[in-house]
Amino acid sequence: MEKQTVDPWKWGEHTNSVQAVEVKQVAGTLYCSGQVAIDANGQPSTADMRSQLLQTFQNLEQLIGEAGYECSGIVRLNVYTTSVTEFFTTCTDVYQAWIAGHGIKQATTLLEVRGLFAGLTVELEATVVK
């Protein structure tokens, strides 16, 4: 797989994403449903947003790995949250560390939504290539 990122504006260097990702010679594409903080027994988390994000990362990593892909192949990562303000004040550091830890340069959209499944506060939706 060949991957090229496009970010024509200087301010883009200070974000944890890029404006576009082009991929060529892809061996496969995995479209992940939105992942949330649900445990192995199907119980949604009642923890704070930061803890939910950490559990959501674990779930996303497990899904991607079991499908035979790697998190470094994420080319699009959409974030849905019930509070953009809370996300930026309590989750940005762990979000950026997770992105950097996997060497991801992804297109992304951050959306504040009225509500998520079972009262959860954050959901991640990924597209992964290999």
Q: pLDDT tens across 66-108, in order?
A: 999 999 999 999 999 999 999 999 999 999 999 999 999 999 9
Q: Is the pLDDT of residue 16 over 80?
A: no
Q: Is 109 helix (H, G, I), strand (E, B) or coil?
A: strand
Beta-bridge partners for 3: 23
pTM of the shown model = 0.92
CA distance 130 to 85: 34
Average pLDDT over residues 34-42: 96
Contacts (Cβ under 8 Å, ≥6 apart) of 106: 17, 18, 21, 74, 75, 76, 77, 99
pLDDT at 65 over 90: yes
